Amino acid sequence: MKKPKMMSSRERVLTALNGGEPDRTPFCEQNIAQNVLMSITGSDKELSQKDISKLLKRDNIAFDLTPPFFAKKEISDDGQSYFTEGLIKKRDDFPALNAVSMRRNASGGT
């Protein structure tokens, strides 16, 4: 018996959406806590969405629509990230913020 061709993620999802039978059930998990991923991989740094998709063989395109946060980000002892002190205290703080510093703060930088 001939082995069925392995589908790409795109083929798999489109086949399922069109009522066909993909080679396996598409895996489309969107949100996985970073501390869980870091524990699974043994990594001490946060993983990018692209790295997560490759690692877990996700079939969906992951995207991050999170706006920049005007606050400092910290990681708790259990690996969960949370926001602490706000970066805007007075009107004069606005010009000091730019897209690069906002993105850096949102991703954990200082």
**36 in any annotated domain:** yes
**Higher pLDDT pick, 4 / 57:** 57
- pLDDT surpassing 60 at residue 105: no
Give the C-alpha separation, 31 to 53, whole Å. Answer: 11
Residue 106 pLDDT: 47
pLDDT tens digits along 7-22: 998 899 899 989 999 9
**92 in any annotated domain:** yes
**1 in any annotated domain:** no
**2 in any annotated domain:** no
Answer yes or no: do 13 and 49 share one domain: yes
**81 in any annotated domain:** yes
- pLDDT surpassing 90 at residue 23: yes
Give the domain extent around 36. Answer: 9-56
- pLDDT surpassing 70 at residue 63: no
**94 in any annotated domain:** yes
**DSSP letter assigned to residue 28:** -
Answer yes or no: do 49 and 75 share one domain: no
- List the Cα angle 45/49/55 in 5-degree steps: 80
pLDDT tens digits along 28-46: 877 778 888 888 888 888 8
- pLDDT surpassing 70 at residue 6: yes
